[in-house]
Amino acid sequence: MIKGFWKTLSKPIFALAPLAGVTDAAFRRVIAKYGKPDVMFTEFTSADGLCSIGQRALLTDLLYCEAERPIVAQLFGSNPEHMYQACILARELGFDGIDINMGCPDKGIERQGAGAAHIKNPKRAQEVIAAAMRGAGELPVSVKTRIGYSKNILDEWLPYLLEMDLAAITVHGRTRKEMSAVPAHWDAIGRAVELRNKYDAGPDHTLILGNGDVQTLDAACEKVRQYGVDGVMIGRGIFGNPWRFNKEQTIEDLSLDVRLGVMIEHIKLFEALYKSDSSDGKRKKPFDVMKKHFKAYVNGFDGAKELRAKLMGTHNAQEVKEIVDNFLPLI
């Protein structure tokens, strides 16, 4: 059933997808400033790891700031006791909710029985959810999953999740086998809404969010209208565009110097949060992690290819700023 902050959100709900190596604390702070969605999720974090000696380093993945609220900690794992303990920790850290990843196709995560592997073991999935709810206390628990593993088995899989009285379920419209090689099956996501309505017809029923191939708010609104979902989660559409969820201003409204200035702001935040000379026990992140963002920020204008090539050879924010400052007067 809907609980916690989920009850306060107006529909349709627009959510930022948790993308490993992309939607870290630095990028989320930029997004919160320039185009905040209705709800944000951390990168997924190992429940097993949070119950190990490596916990201190992993806490870096659970950094957030007040501007991001409501902010949900996304966790993965198949050990109910570890999930219970990790959810207690997330509650102590002040998160607004907890989301369990039951759709990640990473083979290493699947070998742990987590991610998309849960689809093949629905009873264990229920045990993990129940443990999460015990640890979460009053915090709402949600799940992000897929329509199946090797084939679409949503009619068999989703009822197991609906039985658990989750606050929300995000359905990515592909099987694990399909990865992202085919268009998202939004008809299957629409079927998820039908199943929810069949199993839980009350006013506080579990919310269903759709995910897959949605790049803009206009497209998201069309999916809501067409398939009856309560909201849409946008992932890849956020690359290079912190204004994606901004209803008043789009990236097309902005001058190039503003766009590149926000890129530099993003890089400086990344350095501040994950600086390589850190000695406080937090996990460091190499500057090269930022370079995937260069390709997204720097495109669609004359000289973009050449500028990207120069930026790919940089090692810090100051070098990026100098290259951008030298480029802007030339256009």
Residue 97 DSSP SS3: strand
Q: Which alpha helices (H) appear in 176-229, and where do they start and end?
A: 186-199, 217-227
| 296 neighbors 325 (Cβ within 8 angstroms) | no
| Nearest one of 29, 111, 119, 108 to 67, comparing CA atoms | 29
**If you search the block for the tokens 């309505």, which residue do you land on?**
197
**Burial bucket for residue 203 (CB in 10 Å: 0-12, 13-18, 19+):** exposed
Round to whole Å and give the CA distance between 10 and 138: 21
Measured CA distances, 48 to 7, 32, 61, 86, 98 (Å)? 30, 29, 14, 8, 15
Q: How far apart, in whole angstroms, are the C-alpha atoms of residue 117 and residue 115?
A: 5
DSSP 8-class letter at 7: G
Annotated catalytic residues are 104
CA distances from 308 to 6, 264, 297, 311, 313 (A): 40, 13, 9, 5, 9
